[in-house]
Amino acid sequence: MAIAVVALTLASSAPATAATLSESERGAGLWYVDSLGISSAHAEGLTGKSVRIAVVDDGINLQAAELRGAKIRVHGNYCLNQDTGKPFPADSTDGNVAQHGTSVVAMLVGNGKAADGGKGTLGIVPDAEIDFYATGPVVTKEQQDSGWEKVCPSGRDKADGSWVGDAWEDAMNDAVKSGASIVSVSLAGSAISFRDGLVYAAAHGVTVVASARNPGNDSIGVGGYPAAGNGTVSVNAVGPDNKVIGRSVDFEHATQLGSANMGVSAPGVRILSIGRDWAPKIENGTSYATPLTAGVLALAAEKYPKATQNQILQSLVSTTDASLRDGTPSWDPELGFGIVSLPQLLERDPGGLQDLNPLFVSKPSDSRCLGPRDSEQPTTMKDCYWAQLPTAEQVAEAASKPSATGEPSEPGTSEPSAPPVFMIIGLLLGGLIVIAAGVFIPIAVTKKSRSGRQKAFAGEARTSDGSTSEVPFARQHPTNFNLPNLDRQNPPKPNGDEPRGPVIK
């Protein structure tokens, strides 16, 4: 089964290091602060206090200057080194391992100061609590040639010593069960890696915010999950000109891919980020728009603590620039429901809105399931244009089961089990899919059948100050909602069995 990986970040022609990036250039890369109205929210006292956000990404560098003072718990890497059998370090100063995850987290809790004392990434929710789940580095072509599995394993079978598990899948599963109300994912890949996590999230009221695929050839052939999942907040990126990333500066002629269930759009072009040398760098991609959107939702949750996640999502889609302009929620295949408007979202108390996820399709009879080229309304969710996974039935079944928060398995061991054929069938028939924020170059990998599917080694919950703590578990509300007819075009749609990877450009 072919599976590809991609980070949602795009190459930039901008200067790459602090030595060539002037203060004025850095200031220009902070345009998202004024565009979203972040300073005004902070002045109102809204900084993400008491809100927990889980981030699933490759790795993190807690020593990065922009992350000093942030509240970050790092959960040990799920990816096993296939030479040593031990997990790769989750907290690393190696830019090849941790640059993307560090940059994504900085969009949430960055302090605005770079290592040289100049301007650095400023986070939208600097006081939020971050739970970071490290998926580990993508297996390189050289490592594959030396005999490594192409999908990073999370354990070994006790019986024959073979590699088992999927680091991405296990990290996602633990993230949605962490107790965080919002999960931000800047990765894109096959539904197989995200199915169980998306079903659980939908059944327990956890909001998944994920990156849509970036435009251009790098994203062709890459799976669209978890962003393509039913009920997921799929995020696209826009530039300072409010144009979508494929039409904004530097990417005017790139082919749009996105997702059929595009949720909203947020700043993600010419963003002041962090380079692999840990110096300020201008970057582009849905990977950066995703954590900003997660932060927008977190600020609304902080201001309106009695509102449910679903009510906040209702307010999100009804307060975008397009919805305010048209007087009602309207949808576009590239921008989704429009560009997020933090001031308008914070101005309106969502407490009186329906407690239903406006991005979740519960039945194939929903108008969103009928694609622009379909002649008949689908009769099953596997043919739904908007999204196939998860189905309302899967969500209801998951919600009815007792919540289990057992300890994660130790790395390197797993009891044999039946081949995961039933999981593949389930993915094709229904499930939940989501995409993370970010845009990396896609890397094709092959996922072989494995005899075991253990829960990954999560390691110790470690904070940036070195202390450890237990992560409480939270159960919330199921989601299910239908929207009125929407005019849509026909962007490429993931089929549930495609490559995966971080989303970075």
Q: Give the confidence band of 458 by pLDDT, cuts at 50, 70, 90.
A: very low
Nearest Cα to Cα of residue 34 among 322, 330, 312, 292: 292
Look at the chain and count its residues.
Answer: 505
Query: Which residues, in sequence order, are bridge partners of residue 10?
Result: 284
Contacts of 144 (CB under 8 A, 6+ apart): 150, 445
pLDDT at 189: 84
**Using CA atoms, how far apart are residues 355 and 358, in angstroms rounded to an integer?**
9
Weakest-pLDDT range from 37-41, 341-345, 389-393: 389-393
Question: 331-355 pLDDT, tens per residue?
Answer: 888 899 999 999 999 999 999 999 9
pLDDT at 216: 67
Residues 435 and 389 sit within 8 Å (Cβ to Cβ): no
Two structure tokens written together for 126:
């600097």
Distance of CA 244 to the CA centre of its chain: 18
Question: 75-125 pLDDT, tens per residue?
Answer: 988 999 999 999 999 999 999 999 999 999 999 999 999 999 999 999 999
**Using CA atoms, how far apart are residues 6 and 439, in angstroms rounded to an integer?**
7
pLDDT at 150: 84
Question: 152-193 pLDDT, tens per residue?
Answer: 999 999 999 999 999 999 999 999 999 999 999 999 888 999
pLDDT at 6: 53
Identify the H or E element spanning 208.
strand 207-211
- Environment class of residue 467 by beta-carbon count within 10 Å: exposed (0-12), middle (13-18) or buried (19+)? exposed
CB atoms near residue 352 (< 10 Å): 10
For residue 311, which amino acid is it?
A: Q
